Structures are given as C-alpha cells and as structure tokens.
A and B are shown apart, each in its own frame.
Chain A
Amino acid sequence: MDPISQAFDLVLQWQVVGAVVAAAIFGLLVGAIPGLTATMATALLVPFAFFMDPVPAVGMMVTCAAMAIFAGDIPGTLLRIPGTPASAAYAGEGYAMTLRGQAELALGANLLYSALGGLFGTAVLIFAAPTLAEIALNFSSVEYFWMALLGLTCAVFIGASSPLKGLISLFIGLFVATIGLNNPAGVPRFTFGSSDLLAGIDFIPAMIGLFAVSTVLSTVAAGAPAWEVAQKGMGNIFRSWGTLLRTYWRQQLRGNVLGTTIGALPGAGADIAAWVAYAISRRFSRQPEKYGTGHVEGIVEATSANNAAVSSAWIPAFVFGIPGDTITAIVIGVLYVKGLNPGPTLFLFNPQTIYAVFLIFILANLVMIPLGWLVIKLTKRLLQAPRRILMPLILAFCMVGAYASNNSVYGIVVMLVFGVLGFFMEENDIPIAPCILGIVLGPLLEDRFISAMIRGDGSLLFFFERPIAAGLGVVVLSIWAFSLIGWLRRRRKLAQAPAG
C-alpha cells in the first residue's frame, strides 16, 4: 500500500477525527480568551498527547495551534486585547472597526483569510518539505549546527524587541538544556546529587510553567478583572465574503506568500509575519491614510500572513528538526517523546505519518470555518467567562499535567520554578520564546558543535569547509554583524541626542 492511502487510513479513524475536532474547540476557546496564548493552549495539550498515538497527538496540537491563532483575533477585534501575540499587529485596526459597528466584517475577514492562509501555507509545506528533506539528507553535523544557530539567531535578533534581552533569554534556555547526564561526554552536570535532575529538566513541566503558570500569576496579581465589550450584537459574518474576496485578492496573496516565507525561516513565526504583513500592506496601499481608522485592508493581509506562517513553520520543524516558533518547539519535544525524531529521515522511514499530519492540516483549516463561526456567535458569552473562576482551574490543570509528565511531584516542582522564572522574566521584559527554543535546541546544538569540533580537531575553519555549511555560516554571521552595527549606531545616536 502506498504511503498516501496509508495516511488516509491513519487519519480517517474516529479517534483521530474526534481528537482533531476536540482540539479545535479547545484551541478556539483558549485563543478567544485574552491573555491565554496559542502556545499556552498547545502546552496544555501536551499531557494528553503523551498518552496518545503519534498521529492523533500531533494532529491535535497542530489543529489547536491553528485555531488559537485565528481565535486570538476575536478579543483583539472586540476588546483591543489580542488573544495571542500574532493578532497584536492589527488589534487596534479591528477594534476601530468594532467601534464603527463593523465587528462582523472584521471577524468575517479574520475567519475567511485565516482558513485560506492556513491552506496556502499547508500547500507550500506539502510540496516543499519532501524536496528540502532530500537536500537535508546530505547534511552533516556542521550544517545542523548552523541551522540550529540560525534558528536561535532569528529568534533573538528578529523576534525579540530588544536583542540583548532576547540573548539573555536564549542563554537561560541553553543553560537549562545542559542540566543532567544527556551530553556528549555523559557527565552529570549541575545535578547537585539529585537523581531527578540526572535525566535533565523535563521539557513539558518547564513549558507549562513558563507559559501557563506565569500567566496565572500575573492575572492573579491583577485581581482578574472582567472585560467590557464595545459592540453588543453580531450580524452575519458571511455576507461580506464575496466582496472581500474580489476586492482584496492581491493583499491576500501577498500576505500568504510573505507569511509562508517568514514562517519557513527557523526561529521566526506568526507574530513577526503579522507585523511585517501589516506594515507592507500599509506601505503599498492606495489608501494608506485609512489605516488605523478601521480599514479592513490591513487586517486581510496580516491575518492571511499569520495563519500561513503557522502552517509553514512546520517546514523547518519536520525537515530539520529546528523549530520555527514556540508552538513547533513544543511539538518537536512531543515528537521526540513519541520516538518520531524530526528530521529528513522522518520522510524516509515514516512517510505515511508525515502525510497523515499534512492531511490533518487541511482538515483543521476546513473545520475552522464552521467552528470559527460558532465561536464568533458565542463570543459575547465567552468573554463574560469570569477569569477569577478560570484561573484556579487552569492552575489545577497545569499541576496535574506537570505531574502526569513523569508521574511524580518533581514535575510540579519544575513547573513552579519555571512559572516563577517566567513571571520574573516578563516583569523585566525578557521574552520567553528564545528561552524555549534554547531548551529545545540546546542538546542538538551542543552535540553537533562538539562532534564538529572533534572532527575538525578544534579548527573553527572546519565549520566553513562544506559549501552549504559555509553559506549558512555566512548568513548567521552577517545577521550578527548587522545587528551589532545597528545597535552601536543607535547607541551613538542616543549618546549624541542630549548634546545636540
């Protein structure tokens, strides 16, 4: 039987379809609640993924992520509180439309273009990934080292608002990854005699702590106040779709292409895609003066881009095992637990699994339309869901989930430590995403680095001896150089400003 029909067999089972639909509803609900991010939704699913077969487990997380990125637009539009950071770029624009009584037009555009963007990104993923995997089969440890470094570099210098704080976050993550026995020399590091620490910091409770517990802590600190919705009624969201599709097909296409490209870069994901797409849309618009006053054009382009990026972020994740953003980082962690080591060999040995996941991508973006419509209908009640009841329940869920990762309270201890760490990092404007990428990529980076150092006998030139490695190396080093020069220039300008 060929892999594609095997993939259909894997997907068309009631457990898989059921898991996808349940994850879709969960993702929509979590994404629609302000302050709960798509990453958090994915992290909360990890304990379940643990107990499932690989295909439903990955399918569940993939679906949940796509839904949460769309649903993040809902509170962004209605309350000006983006549900997830990927919606932040156009939350102001959407809210302006709500104030003019056009919430259904904005949300309709969000739903339509999110689904279409996701499908576009998926199409690129399906065609590009196997080809790239063939190239990746020739990669040696040096190329992997540079790829991992490229991902981390993008996360720090492009993703973070302050590269310095991004670097700090990255080093925290890399340090956490060094704890335990799992290193090229097999020496226990930073374990201080603890047998729990020998296995390293468990990834799942760390993730739950960084994303969910820190959110609970900051909400509790604020006293979990309720929200006020500006627009009371909600009209028919489908009515405007025909006009939108005819008027804004250029913006849609540009957003899709841009989002897919940014998503496919290791270390850059949906948030950045949305910001860049919104800026480009404004730059090339015939009516740039309307932006910010409740104009749907920028929303179309940015929402097309962020969902396309969510799909294409899986390209580096599946092909190289290098996560494009925090969500793919979590799923890569789960893939390793499931024994499906992401990388080009996945396409060689388990093509049916990969095709099954592709099918789930398509399925997820199709069920987004009816379920999304339902959530928009229910949205007023959803936003009234009191956070003071949600937060303790989320915390309880986190604790049981962290416990379930290895059936011991050690998981909860890790979760608590990382929850407090995440809270402290947010207080000091240190972004969390580079830390996660550091934890996930740290072991790979170290392993490839040490083995390349040993093979090259300590010569740094060895890192540039193969053509692809040299190319990647030059890209990474030039991103570093440009960031450093830019930073120094800004310093100098700042230093001159008070004098001038």
Chain B
Amino acid sequence: MRFNDMMLGAVLLAFAVVLAGFAMTFPAIPGQRFGAGLFPLLIALGFAACGIALVLQHLRSPHAGREPLVMRTEWTQKPGAILAVLITIAVMIGYILLSRPIGFLPIMALMTLILFRLLQVPWWQALLFAVGGTFVLDLIFRSLLMVPLPYGIIPYLPW
C-alpha cells in the first residue's frame, strides 16, 4: 500500500493537528514557562510542515489529480501476497492472545507450522522445523536466559 504525496501529506497534517491538540493540554513545570507540552508541540509543527511540503509537491507535479490517493505496490499484484502478509500478522496477534492461557510450546509450534505451510514448505519439514525450532527457543530463552515463558496447559519441563 502506497500513499501518494497528497494522501501522505493530508494524513500527516491531520496527525499534527491531533498531536498539537494533546500537547496544549499538558501542564507546564510549576513556576516555569515551559513544560511537557513544548516539545510535542514542536514535533507537531514539524509534522505539519512536512505535510504541507508534500501537498505542495503533489500540486506542482505533473501527476496532480491523475494519481490515485492510495496505490497498490508491485508485490500486491502477486496472487496471495496480501493474504500472506495478513496471515503473518494474524498469527502474531494469535500468539499475543493465546500464549498465556495455552502456553508457549503448543502455540509457538502451531504458529511456526502455519507460517511454514503458508510458504509451502512440505509437511514433514514444516512439522520438524516447527517442533524442533520451538524446543530450541525454549531451551535458549527459558533454560539458559531464564525468561519466564508462559507454561499454560503444559506441565513444568525439567530441563
């Protein structure tokens, strides 16, 4: 997904307005004229300046009015490409939601298995790498680096 200059500029301007609105509400340091609001306000001004520059750049360019606001980049023309990206993102969201109730081992193995299959890795390789990879990660992070990966429904593993 690619925004043209007009669209990107408009998004930046809108964001700048929201940012400035929030920045105005921040209180100053007691007894001082400056506080938490000044820096975000300057950033908002910066965003606004970039937005205006992009809009002007678009209006002056020969493509003005002829380009669609949002273009599909080259890779999106490939069948299944957008779906692949969406599935990858969905898998990450799934892990975020399910890892605590169900546990690291089953969810991570499932997640990598889905991704392997998405990339058309043969079943036996996909299963091997999904399960093997998950156990290696478990070994490195839980056993060596002492990261408390969620157990979920899986009982405590002794290594």
Q: Which positions in A face B, CB cutoff 8 Å?
A: 47-48, 50-51, 164, 167-168, 170-171, 174-175, 178, 183-187, 189-190, 213, 216-218, 220-224, 386, 388-389, 391-393, 395-397, 399-400, 403-404, 407, 409, 412-413, 416, 419-420, 423-424, 427-428, 446, 449-450, 453-454, 458, 491, 495, 498
State in angstroms the CA–CA spacing of A216 and B89 once bound together: 11
CB pair A416–B28 under 8 Å, yes or no, is: no
- Are A185 and B111 in contact (CB-based, < 8 A)? no
A396 close to B134 (CB less than 8 A): yes
Check A189 against B40 for contact (C-beta < 8 Å): yes
Q: Which residues of the other chain, A, contact B34 by a CB distance below 8 angstroms?
A: 450, 453-454, 458
- Known: A216-B88, A424-B1. Is A412-B96 also a contact (CB below 8 A)? yes
- B33 at the binding interface (Cβ < 8 Å): yes
Q: What are the residues of chain A within 8 A of B115 when measuring CB–CB?
A: 220, 391-392, 395
Q: Which B residues are in CB contact (< 8 Å) with A48? A: 145
- 9 residue pairs of the A-B complex, CB under 8 angstroms, read A47-B141, A171-B46, A392-B116, A392-B119, A393-B112, A400-B141, A412-B95, A419-B92, A449-B39
Q: Knowing that A47-B145, A388-B120, A395-B112 are A-B contacts, what are 7 other residue pairs whose CB atoms are under 8 Å apart, sorted by A's residue number?
A: A171-B46, A174-B43, A389-B121, A389-B129, A396-B108, A403-B147, A404-B145
Within 8 A of A (CB), among B40-81: 40, 43, 46-47, 50, 53-54, 57, 60, 62, 73, 75-76, 78, 80-81
Inter-subunit contact A175/B89 (CB<8 Å)? no
CA distance in complex: A412, B147 (Å): 14
B112 in contact with A392 (CB, 8 Å): yes
User: Are A217 and B88 CB-contacts (below 8 A) given A185-B27, A187-B26, A404-B145?
Assistant: yes
Chain A residues within 8 Å of B26, by CB: 185, 187, 189
> Interface size of B by Cβ–Cβ distance < 8 Å?
66
In the complex, the answer to whether A396 meets B85 with C-beta atoms within 8 Å is no
Q: How far is the CB of B21 from chain A (nearest CB, A)?
A: 12
A104 CB, nearest partner CB in chain B, Å: 33
By a CB distance below 8 angstroms, the chain B residues around A189 are: 22, 26, 36, 40
A216 to B91, CA, bound (A): 13
A453 vs B62: C-alpha distance when bound (angstroms): 44
A392 to B119: give the CA distance in the assembly, Å.
9
Contact (Cβ within 8 A) B133 A399:
no
With a CB–CB cut-off of 8 A, which chain A residues contact B134?
396
Assembled-state Cα–Cα distance A424/B121 (Å): 27
